[in-house]
Structure 1
């Protein structure tokens, strides 16, 4: 148990370090709002799509392609999205419903989920997690694009407008562009992959620094109620429902643990980037990311302890 806590801390501590660095840089006036706007745009339009593209291209689809597990994850994600959205409609102010919903269902699987899966189950965790990650990315970005388009200030909510927001989303384009290369194992020049990795490696530091630069005590106070509600949905209720569903479906051992780790991951940094890109309440998105990342140290380990105690993993 203590080893798992150390693993979780080893993954989440660098995330917090970059967040606090963003806070410090803003306080020192080394970065300003203009930098945050430019850097967030660069992440959304360039570095993050490149990161997603490279991650899928490098995934070994033949090693861990499990249609039943992938199907369950898609169904569970849709159910979680529907629950979060329904609760937001009932309990959250109209302007914040998109951010609440995205924060409640969109996990940081590329950093926390995959890293813990690999740490616990080695090559199997890495291969299954990477293949699952491709499905995760596509589902999360399509659903986020829909709900943010509906609730973003001044957004057009017709079917054509929402469809356009999906097909023009750089993150979705990055995923779709990578699928043929991954499926048919089309090789890319080594220099191009290396250059792409250099570019993609800027994603997480830039995104987290921008989140930290946006945080302030006033913004945390303003968004505290909604942020805590979304965080509880993300870190407690939806992982509980999804993991119970996986257990009832018949998943056990490594498959059940990896599904749990993906469901229980804190809110992804990409949620802040997308919120800022569409002019939504990015301060609320930043607060949800901070709260869920902190909560992950506790909830992830409690969940794994319960699953181990029951003899299911």
Structure 2
């Protein structure tokens, strides 16, 4: 048990220390909102797509491309959105239901989940996680737009704009481009791979620092009952139900570990951006992100300890 605890801390602490570094740098005034916005855009548009592309083309697709795991992950994500939506209808005010549903299910897989998967399973975790992240990005965007538009009185649903934005999403494009390159076994020049490696390696530390820079301790202290409820769904019920379902299907080992890390990752910063775009309660969205970011340090560590102790990952 002690060995499992120590190993779990070795996985989670480096990731969350980078988040706290970003928080500290922001409070010291060494980075500001302009830097965070620019760096976040760079990660989203350039470095993260490069990292995903390289991780897929350099992976052994026979092991990294796991249809059963990916289909289960996408299917359970859709099911969890549905369950959280029903819970919101039963428990929460009409105007907050969209924010609650998104916050309860939308995870920061592109940065935190991928960083944890890479920390735990190395290149294998990066490859499998990259494909999973690419697949679920579409689900997150489509379902979030639907659930937010239902409760928005100002922004109509525009499926054409949604389709256009998805088609231009750099993370989706990088995965779509990488899979045929990997399947055809195309060899890219060594100098290009090296330069791409330099660029891609910036993604995780820079992205984690930006997440830390956007966190607010004040927002954490102002956490409402709705935010706490959504955070409980995000950190406890969604990963717990997801792991139990995976076990019922016979998913074990590293695949189960990566699935747990992705399902248990904190709320995505994109949920705050979408809340503002739909003129919804963006402060509630921010509270959920802050609470789940801090809380996931403990929930992920505890979950990994239990899974390792049971010999499931």
Q: Is the TM-score greater than 0.5?
A: yes
Q: For structure 1, list consecutive stretches of 5 or more residues without a partner in the other structure.
A: 119-125
Listed as ranges, the matches of 1:241-256 within 5 Å are 241-252=241-252, 254=253
- Per the alignment, do residues 67 and 230 of structure 1 end up closer, same or farther by CA in structure 2, a change over 3 Å counting? same
- State the partner residue of 2:128: 132
| Rounded Cα–Cα distance in structure 2 between residues aligned with 1:230 and 1:106 | 17
- State the partner residue of 2:140: 144
- State the partner residue of 2:202: 202
- State the partner residue of 1:100: 103
8 Å CA contact 1:103–1:289 kept in 2: the answer is no
| Rounded Cα–Cα distance in structure 1 between residues aligned with 2:218 and 2:141 | 28
| Rounded Cα–Cα distance in structure 2 between residues aligned with 1:65 and 1:210 | 30
Task: Note the alpha carbon deviations across 1:182-220, whole angstroms, 9 max, x for none.
Answer: 111111111111111211122122222222222222221
Select 1:300's aligned residue among 301, 304, 311. Answer: 304
SS in 2 for 1:186: coil
Q: Does 149-158 or 42-51 show the bigger shift?
A: 149-158
8 Å CA contact 2:108–2:265 kept in 1: the answer is yes
8 Å CA contact 1:19–1:212 kept in 2: the answer is yes
Task: Note the alpha carbon deviations across 1:202-252, whole angstroms, 9 max, x for none.
Answer: 212222222222222222123454444333223322222222222322345
- Please state how far the C-alpha of 1:180 moved relative to its aligned partner: 1.0
SS in 2 for 1:138: helix
SS in 1 for 2:17: helix
| TM-score between the two structures when normalised by the length of structure 1 | 0.80
Root-mean-square deviation over aligned CA pairs: 3.1
- 1:272 matched to 2:269? The reply is yes
- State the partner residue of 1:262: 259
- State the partner residue of 1:123: none
- Per the alignment, do residues 291 and 100 of structure 1 end up closer, same or farther by CA in structure 2, a change over 3 Å counting? same
SS in 2 for 1:209: helix
| Rounded Cα–Cα distance in structure 2 between residues aligned with 1:96 and 1:12 | 28
SS in 2 for 1:62: helix
Q: For structure 2, list consecutive stretches of 5 or more residues without a partner in the other structure.
A: none
- 1:229 matched to 2:233? The reply is no
Q: Does 221-230 or 190-199 show the bigger shift?
A: 221-230
Listed as ranges, the matches of 1:1-313 within 5 Å are 1-63=1-63, 65-88=65-88, 90-91=90-91, 93-94=96-97, 96-97=99-100, 99-103=102-106, 106=109, 108-117=112-121, 127=124, 129=125, 132-150=128-146, 151=148, 156-223=156-223, 225-252=225-252, 254=253, 258-265=255-262, 266-267=264-265, 271-272=268-269, 275-276=272-273, 279=276, 281=282, 283-284=286-287, 285-305=289-309, 307-308=310-311
Q: Does 177-186 or 71-80 show the bigger shift?
A: 71-80
8 Å CA contact 1:103–1:230 kept in 2: the answer is no
